Amino acid sequence: MDVTGHTSFGGHGDPPQGPQKAASIRDVAAAAGVSYQTVSRVINGHPNVKEETRKRVDAAIQTLGFRRNATAFALASGVTRSVTVITSNTVLYGYAATLQGLEEASRAAGYALGVRVVTPEDDLDRTIAAAADTGGGVVVIGFDAIGAAALDRVPAHVPCAALVEAPRPGRTPSRPAVWADDREAARAATEHLLSLGHETVHYVAIPASTGTRRLAPRAEGWRQALEAAGVTPPPTSGKGWDAQAGYEAGKKLARNKDVTAILCGNDDLALGVLRALHHAGRRVPEDVSVIGFDDAPHSAFVTPSLTTVRMDFHGLGRAAFGLLRAQLDTDQQESAPVPAEPTLILRESSGPRDA
Amino acid sequence: MDVTGHTSFGGHGDPPQGPQKAASIRDVAAAAGVSYQTVSRVINGHPNVKEETRKRVDAAIQTLGFRRNATAFALASGVTRSVTVITSNTVLYGYAATLQGLEEASRAAGYALGVRVVTPEDDLDRTIAAAADTGGGVVVIGFDAIGAAALDRVPAHVPCAALVEAPRPGRTPSRPAVWADDREAARAATEHLLSLGHETVHYVAIPASTGTRRLAPRAEGWRQALEAAGVTPPPTSGKGWDAQAGYEAGKKLARNKDVTAILCGNDDLALGVLRALHHAGRRVPEDVSVIGFDDAPHSAFVTPSLTTVRMDFHGLGRAAFGLLRAQLDTDQQESAPVPAEPTLILRESSGPRDA
DNA sequence: GCGAGGATTGTGAGCGGTCACAACGTGGGC
DNA sequence: GCCCACGTTGTGACCGCTCACAATCCTCGC
């Protein structure tokens, strides 16, 4: 059934007054009866300006509604104070929260924030060049394969910081980067499930950020915990980031009665798994325990509420900005804030075996 | 229980080669043995350049790795090709999806996209001025009170388009705007519930975007549907956008046995309501039907899956960009794409009264 | 009362592009 | 063979601001 809605467009506002070009520092200078350089001094807070002159200039600025032209400033001074975030996604919770942290930090520091999404179809180099052309710095969200590829292609001369899944040994040129200890968090989550009496833990993975044979951190932590307990890790599943992918993986796992505990690479996957288990008639947590990753806002409100690993994406974003700023603004002293550690949040979706 | 994780920082990459200033148009000119103006002609595809000269210049561009300085171009030409989105939020589904649509459209058109978040603490005028200072256009997401206030303060000379909850009659200067027919959608959703046999429908509202006495569109549609059916609208509840707010509202509604159908201002609220009903032992949809708004990605995967009104935020974002572009690039012909109409998506959370 | 030195102000140049226009060739029409 | 139009290229000024430096003013100490 369709709602018979429609979408409409508002009319254009009439532009009554003429083009009314913005006032320049020379206009202000003329109005105040000083040279343009004095105006420049005033707007930059230079100390050696006579109080009375400053007042006159300020008054002229007020009446003319002068605002310094950002473009001209950037060109003449070489200072840009802008950051462009390169990411493959802006909607998934982890990305959106990271972006939020980046935005807050950059706003607080007076930086302009730009966003450019990279897709597999895009020419990475073109996209990166476009981002670098703003003159400012670049922050790459390298949580996935596209992001990681983008990071590798940022030219050496472009100021850049990165958010990555894990430190990347041997990568050159290496860039300042932030990451959370996903491996340790996954290990702790897995150990928690084992401690509840589950004989093994199945893992539904998020897509890897690298093409290498090395396991992604979350998978690696899961594997380590199992092996430490003398359990052979079962095959992993998962072919995407979203709940649909989780549902597909969950359908298969639900058929296997040996599956009593499932760790998921993120909360969306976990949601899909929960749904598949429900369809298969397997109760959570009585029959199967499920743990997610990220602690998305809605995870506390689904039923059963989702046990998950809370990630400080927000803090990660702020830290990444700090790392970039350190390159852009070298006499900037504030060190980048350190993100909170991943934390296992216990809720209803996990419980003892055969509860 | 805490995961003993930690967060670490990567080392700085060594900057081996010198500053290596980017090549300018004059560097290219010298290398190719022509004047800077000829180089300018080549990079702008001017017709009257001898083929052989063009090749020589192109070669010099290649070897020097020249890229036209975007700042200088903007200053000299007055053309900016950039959009700044002003919004109060980037994470909530409706906002994030709108932002995504805006990003895609601007990327496709070769525009740079900036984002500035406005908060109640911010000086709106400063924030807007900062956005306008980029020289490009501004898109305001005016779904809420802060966004709507920001829209009203955009100076008349700044190119601007808006996304609003509903057309705002009598607003001057009015700006080109897009909106969806929320009122009609809410009416249809409410009628659907009534048609299922529910004697009344309760409404959990999202915060209003205006301070006026006029009801928000979703609330208005709900009210109209009830009145058309001869039902006096019960008091509304809701004090926020998120699931927690929905949970609070839901707790109260759950105590009232007359409540058998609840319409929610968005899916997050609905999730909270669902949770509260569950805690109160009221089954959905057997005892109570719940309908959300927006069709967030996870709404199809919660249990019970959520009946909701799908909104084309993505299309709305694209359309808003089109409206802005029409102002910025006047000889641009492509008309803005028209967003899809809101659609009621029937799922498990709604059903006949006393099923 | 005079020079040194700091405070205050103004001038020139340049950031890296664009625009306007002038200055060269060429060729065709008479 | 001359003139003019056109294709091709170069020069100057400028976008709005910053830098470097020079010029002016004032004040103080001796």
Could you tell me which chain B residue has the CA closest to the CA of A69? B133
Q: Does A175 touch chain B (CB under 8 A)?
A: yes
Which one is predicted more confidently, B182 or B14? B182
Q: List the CATH code of the domain at A25-68.
A: 1.10.260.40
Which pLDDT score, from 0 to 100, does residue B173 have?
Answer: 59
A212, pLDDT greater than 70: no
Give nucleotides in strand C with any atom < 7 A to a protein C-beta. 7-12, 14-20
Q: Provide, in whole angstroms, the distance separating residue A25's CA from nucleotide C10's C1'.
A: 15
Which of B14, B125, B298 would you mutate first to test chain A, the one with the most A CBs within 10 A? B298
Can you read off the two tokens belonging to residue B157?
């000379």
Portions of chain A given CATH number 1.10.260.40 = 25-68
Q: Give dist(CA B92, CA B294) in Å, integer.
A: 11
Which one is predicted more confidently, A289 or A175? A289
Chain B (254-273) residues lying within 8 Å, Cβ to Cβ, of chain A: 268, 271-272
CB contact under 8 A, A5 and B113: no
Contacts of A275 in chain B (CB under 8 A): 301-303, 305
Mean pLDDT computed over every residue of chain A = 91
B53 touches strand D (CB under 7 A): yes
CB contact under 8 A, B336 and A9: yes
Which pLDDT score, from 0 to 100, does residue A11 have?
Answer: 38
Q: Does B7 touch chain A (CB under 8 A)?
A: yes
A30, pLDDT greater than 60: yes
Per residue in A62-121, pLDDT tens? Answer: 999 999 999 999 999 999 999 999 999 999 999 999 999 999 999 999 999 999 999 999
Chain A (124-163) residues lying within 8 Å, Cβ to Cβ, of chain B: 129-130, 133-135, 156-157, 162
Give nucleotides in strand D with any atom < 7 A to a protein C-beta. 7-12, 14-20
Per residue in B283-338, pLDDT tens? Answer: 999 999 999 999 999 999 999 999 999 999 999 999 999 999 999 887 767 777 89
Q: What residue has its CA nearest to the C1' of C10?
A: A35
CB contact under 8 A, B3 and A309: yes
Which pLDDT score, from 0 to 100, does residue B19 have?
Answer: 53
B134 closest CB neighbour out of A70, A175, A323: A70
Chain B (27-66) residues lying within 8 Å, Cβ to Cβ, of chain A: none
Q: Give dist(CA B294, CA B36) in Å, integer.
A: 54
Q: Does A103 touch chain B (CB under 8 A)?
A: yes
Q: What residue has its CA nearest to the C1' of C16?
A: B72
Q: Contact at 8 Å (CB) between B118 and B139?
A: no
Q: Provide, in whole angstroms, the distance separating residue B4's CA from nucleotide D11's C1'.
A: 69
Which pLDDT score, from 0 to 100, does residue A14 have?
Answer: 36
Q: Give dist(CA A166, CA A210) in Å, integer.
A: 10
Q: Does B108 touch chain A (CB under 8 A)?
A: no
Query: Number of C-alpha atoms within 13 angstroms, CB side, residue B104?
Result: 20
CB contact under 8 A, B13 and A71: no
Question: What's the CA dihedral at B75, B76, B78, B80 to 10 degrees?
Answer: -60
**CA A156 to centroid of chain Cα atoms:** 22
At residue B15 the predicted structure's pLDDT band, cuts being 50, 70 and 90, is very low
Per residue in B190-233, pLDDT tens? Answer: 999 999 999 999 999 999 887 766 789 999 999 999 999 999 99
Which pLDDT score, from 0 to 100, does residue A19 have?
Answer: 53
Residue A336 Cα distances to A19, A80, A106, B4, B139, angstroms: 44, 20, 12, 21, 31
A291, pLDDT greater than 90: yes
B76 touches strand D (CB under 7 A): yes
Which pLDDT score, from 0 to 100, does residue A1 have?
Answer: 34
B133 closest CB neighbour out of A6, A70, A305: A70
The C-alpha of A2 sits at a distance from chain B's nearest C-alpha, in angstroms, of 5
B167 closest CB neighbour out of A10, A114, A302: A10
> Could you tell me what percent of chain A has a pLDDT over 90?
82
Give phi and psi for B248, each to the nearest 5: -60, -50
Mean pLDDT computed over every residue of chain B = 91
CB contact under 8 A, B188 and A3: yes
Per residue in B51-73, pLDDT tens? Answer: 999 999 999 999 999 999 999 99
Provide the 3-class DSSP secondary structure of residue B83: strand
Residue B16 Cα distances to A151, A157, A167, B19, angstroms: 19, 10, 22, 9
Which pLDDT score, from 0 to 100, does residue B13 have?
Answer: 37
Contacts of B129 in chain A (CB under 8 A): 67
Can you read off the two tokens belonging to residue B69?
């300085």
Tell the burial category of A230 from Cβ atoms under 10 Å away from its Cβ (0-12, 13-18, 19+). exposed
B45 touches strand D (CB under 7 A): no
Contacts of B297 in chain A (CB under 8 A): 91, 242-243, 268
Q: What residue has its CA nearest to the C1' of D6?
A: B48
Q: Give dist(CA B240, CA A35) in Å, integer.
A: 53
Per residue in B106-128, pLDDT tens? Answer: 999 999 999 999 999 989 999 99
Q: Does A99 touch chain B (CB under 8 A)?
A: yes
Q: Provide, in whole angstroms, the distance separating residue B27's CA from nucleotide C24's C1'.
A: 24
Per residue in B171-197, pLDDT tens? Answer: 655 789 999 999 999 999 999 999 999
Sequence letter at residue A159: P
Strands A112-117 and B112-117: antiparallel
Per residue in B231-274, pLDDT tens? Answer: 999 999 999 999 999 999 999 999 999 999 999 999 999 999 99
Which pLDDT score, from 0 to 100, does residue A15 have?
Answer: 36
Q: Provide, in whole angstroms, the distance separating residue B46's CA from nucleotide D2's C1'.
A: 32
A28, pLDDT greater than 80: yes
A21 touches strand D (CB under 7 A): yes
* List of long-range contacts for B197-201, beta carbons under 8 Å, 24+ apart: B197/B352, B197/B353, B197/B354, B198/B260, B198/B261, B198/B289, B198/B353, B199/B231, B199/B258, B199/B260, B199/B353, B200/B226, B200/B231, B200/B233, B200/B234, B200/B258, B200/B260, B200/B261, B201/B225, B201/B226, B201/B231, B201/B261, B201/B262, B201/B263
B176 closest CB neighbour out of A12, A164, A309: A12
Which of A2, A8, A9, A104 would you mutate first to test chain B, the one with the most B CBs within 10 A? A9
Q: Provide, in whole angstroms, the distance separating residue B111's CA from nucleotide C17's C1'.
A: 19
Sequence letter at residue A251: K
Contacts of B346 in chain A (CB under 8 A): 1
Per residue in A227-246, pLDDT tens? Answer: 999 999 999 999 999 999 99
Per residue in A339-351, pLDDT tens? Answer: 999 999 999 999 9
The C-alpha of A296 sits at a distance from chain B's nearest C-alpha, in angstroms, of 11
B35 touches strand D (CB under 7 A): yes
CB contact under 8 A, A346 and B69: no
B71 closest CB neighbour out of A71, A272, A336: A71
Strands B307-310 and B343-345: antiparallel
Tell the burial category of B226 from Cβ atoms under 10 Å away from its Cβ (0-12, 13-18, 19+). buried
Which pLDDT score, from 0 to 100, does residue A354 have?
Answer: 77
Give phi and psi for B164, each to the nearest 5: -130, 165
What letter does residue A216 receive in the DSSP assignment? P
Which pLDDT score, from 0 to 100, does residue B146 have?
Answer: 95
Q: Is the link from the previous residue into B159 a cis peptide, with omega within 30 of 0?
A: no
CB contact under 8 A, A75 and B75: yes
Per residue in A86-97, pLDDT tens? Answer: 999 999 999 999
CATH of B82-180+313-328, one of 3.40.50.2300, 3.30.420.40, 1.10.15.40, 3.30.1330.40: 3.40.50.2300
Query: Number of C-alpha atoms within 13 angstroms, CB side, residue B75?
Result: 16
Which pLDDT score, from 0 to 100, does residue B4 have?
Answer: 28
DSSP bridge partners of B291? B263, B307
Contacts of B24 in chain A (CB under 8 A): none
Which pLDDT score, from 0 to 100, does residue B1 have?
Answer: 33
Provide the 3-class DSSP secondary structure of residue B216: coil
Per residue in B81-94, pLDDT tens? Answer: 999 999 999 999 99
- DSSP letter for each residue of B17-57: S---PPP-HHHHHHHHTS-HHHHHHHHTT-S-S-HHHHHHH
Q: Give dist(CA B290, CA B260) in Å, integer.
A: 9
The C-alpha of B149 sits at a distance from chain A's nearest C-alpha, in angstroms, of 17
Q: Which runs of consecutive H residues, i.e. helices, occur in B51-143?
A: 51-64, 70-77, 93-108, 124-132
CATH of B182-311, one of 3.40.190.80, 3.40.50.300, 3.40.50.620, 3.40.50.2300: 3.40.50.2300
Can you read off the two tokens belonging to residue A152?
């590798």
At residue A135 the predicted structure's pLDDT band, cuts being 50, 70 and 90, is confident
Q: Provide, in whole angstroms, the distance separating residue B130's CA from nucleotide C21's C1'.
A: 37
Portions of chain B given CATH number 3.40.50.2300 = 82-180+313-328, 182-311
Per residue in A155-205, pLDDT tens? Answer: 988 999 999 998 877 665 678 999 999 999 999 999 999 999 999 999 999
